[in-house]
Homo-oligomer: A and B are copies of this chain.
C-alpha cells in the first residue's frame, strides 16, 4: 500500500481510538461524580466493552502491517518530522499492546470497576478484610500483565513504564534512597525548632461548603483562563480527566474542618487541567496529544499547588479571600499565622493532606510496599500491619483505623501499581522548573501575589505543555533546566523555604 494511504489509515485509527477513549473517560468521570450507585454493574461492562474495542483497534493486524511498512528506514526518513514521531511512538505503543490478549483487557476492565466499588465500601466500613480478596485478585492481574509485557529487569518495571515511560527500579531505588534520609533529616531539624513546638491551627471551627466553593471558583479561572472548556465537580478522590481537546474536567472535595485542603486540591487539579488544555491542537487525536509521563504531569499540579499557592506572596491575596468568605471564622487570624498554617510541617496519616516535607515519605512507603507485594515478599493479609509499622518507623505516627491507613488511596483498587512514584518525581521536577522560571521571569514571586499568572502560564506552555508526547519527560526537564531529575535541587528548595519558616 502507498505510504500516503498507510499514514491516512494510522491517523484514522488513532482518531477513532481517541474518541472512544474520550467516551470511556466520560463513563469514568460520571462513575465518580453523578452515577446512581446501582449503575455500577452495567457501568463496568460499558467500560470493559470500550476498552476491548480500543484494544482490538490497536492490536489489529492491519494497523500493525501499516506501521511495519512505515517503520522501514527508507520510508521513515522521507516522512515529515511530525509523521515520523507519530509513526515511531505509535509503533512502540502498539508493539506493547499486542502482547496483551483482548480477553485479559476485558476481564481486567470489568474487574477494575468492581474492585473500585469494593474499596469504597471497605473504606466506608473501615474494614480492610472486605477489600483484601479483591486486592489479591488485582495483584494477580498485575502479575499476569507483567508476564505478557515482560520488560527487561525487575518485574515492577513493566508497571512503572505504564506511568513513567522508561523508568526502572534500578533508577528509582537510588533516587528514593537518597531522598529518604534527606527528608528525615530535614523533618528532624524542623521538629527541633521552637516554632514547631508551639505551632497550632489558627483556622478553627466550621468552614461551610459554599464559602470553600466560592474560593475554589475564584482561583480556578485564574489558572484556566479560557471559558467554556472545563468544569469542576465534587468527588471522593479529586482527579482530572480530559474528554476531548476542549473539555477537561476536574474535581475537588470539601472538608468543613479543613478549608485549605479543598483550596489546594482545586489548585492542584487546575495545574493538571491546564497541561491537558494546552497540549498542541496540531497533535489532537494522535498519540502525541499527551504528556510524556505522569511524573511530568504531576510537576504541573505540584507547581501550582505547592510552589505558587503556598508561597508567601500568594498567601497575602488568599488571606484576603478567606477573610471575605469566612469573616467570623477568620476573626483575629493574622496573615503571618495563615501563611505558616499553609505550610505547616507535621507528620500525619493521610498522603493527600501531607505537607511538602513529609509528602515524599508517604510515596516511598507505598513504593516499598508495592515492590514487596509484587516480589511476593509481602502478603496482602499482612499489608495493614506492615503499613502501620513503616508509618511508625518513618513518620512516627500510627493509623488507628484502616481508613486512615492502608485504605486511604484509590490507586490500588484501580490497579494503579507503579503510579505512586510519579508523584515524587513530579514534585521534584516542579522544584527544578521553579528554579529555572525564577531566572527567566523577573519578579516571579511578586507575580504570584498579584495573580499575574499569564507569563507563568506562557512559560509552562512553551517549555512543557507545547511539547506534547514528542520527547521524554526527563529530556524536557534537562532541556529547560539544564539537568534531568535532580534530588539535590529539590532538597535545596525545601531547606531554603522551611529554614525561613521554622528558623532552624
Contacts and interface: CB of A to CB of B under 8 A. Distances in A.
A38 B243 contact: no
Interface residues of A, number: 36
Interface string A216-241: 00000000001011110100000000
A318 B233 CA distance: 33
Interface string A3-43: 00000000000011001101110110010001111110111
Which of A19, A23, A43 has the most chain B CB atoms closer than 10 A to its own CB?
A: A23
A42 B244 contact: yes
A117 interface: no
B23 A229 contact: no
A428 interface: no
Contact of A231 (B34, B233, B244): B34
A46 interface: yes
Contacts of A249: 36
A27 B19 CA distance: 11
Given A35-B247, A39-B243, A244-B43, A19 B49 contact: yes
A247 B35 CA distance: 8
A246 interface: yes
A50 interface: yes
Contacts of A49: 16, 19-20, 23
A45 interface: yes
A27 B23 CA distance: 7
- Copies of this chain, count: 2
Contacts of A41: 244, 246
Q: Is the interface of A mostly helix, strand, loop or mixed?
A: helix
A106 to B, nearest CB: 11
Contacts of A27: 23, 26
Contacts of A23: 23-24, 26-27, 46, 49-50
A245 interface: yes
Contact of A42 (B19, B39, B50): B19
Contact of A247 (B20, B22, B36): B36
A26 B19 contact: no
Given A19-B45, A19-B49, A244-B43, A38 B231 contact: no
A130 interface: no
Contacts of A226: 38
Contact of A39 (B24, B53, B229): B229
Contacts of A20: 46, 49-50, 53
Contact of A46 (B19, B37, B39, B42): B19
Nearest to A284: B42
Given A19-B49, A20-B49, A45-B19, A36 B245 contact: no
Given A46-B19, A244-B43, A228 B37 contact: yes
Contacts of A246: 36, 38-39, 41-42
A226 B37 CA distance: 11
B36 A22 contact: no
A19 B106 CA distance: 13
A301 B15 CA distance: 40
A249 B38 CA distance: 12
A230 B23 CA distance: 21
Contacts of A45: 15, 19
A26 B36 contact: no
B53 A228 contact: no
22 contacts: A15-B45, A20-B53, A22-B46, A23-B26, A23-B27, A23-B46, A26-B27, A26-B30, A30-B30, A34-B233, A36-B231, A38-B228, A38-B246, A39-B229, A39-B244, A41-B244, A42-B243, A42-B244, A42-B245, A42-B247, A43-B244, A53-B53
Given A16-B49, A20-B50, A23-B23, 20 more contacts: A15-B45, A20-B49, A22-B42, A23-B24, A23-B27, A26-B26, A26-B30, A34-B34, A35-B247, A36-B228, A36-B230, A36-B231, A36-B246, A37-B228, A38-B226, A38-B247, A39-B229, A39-B243, A43-B247, A46-B244
Interface of A: 15-16, 19-20, 22-24, 26-27, 30, 34-39, 41-43, 45-46, 49-50, 53, 226, 228-231, 233, 243-247, 249
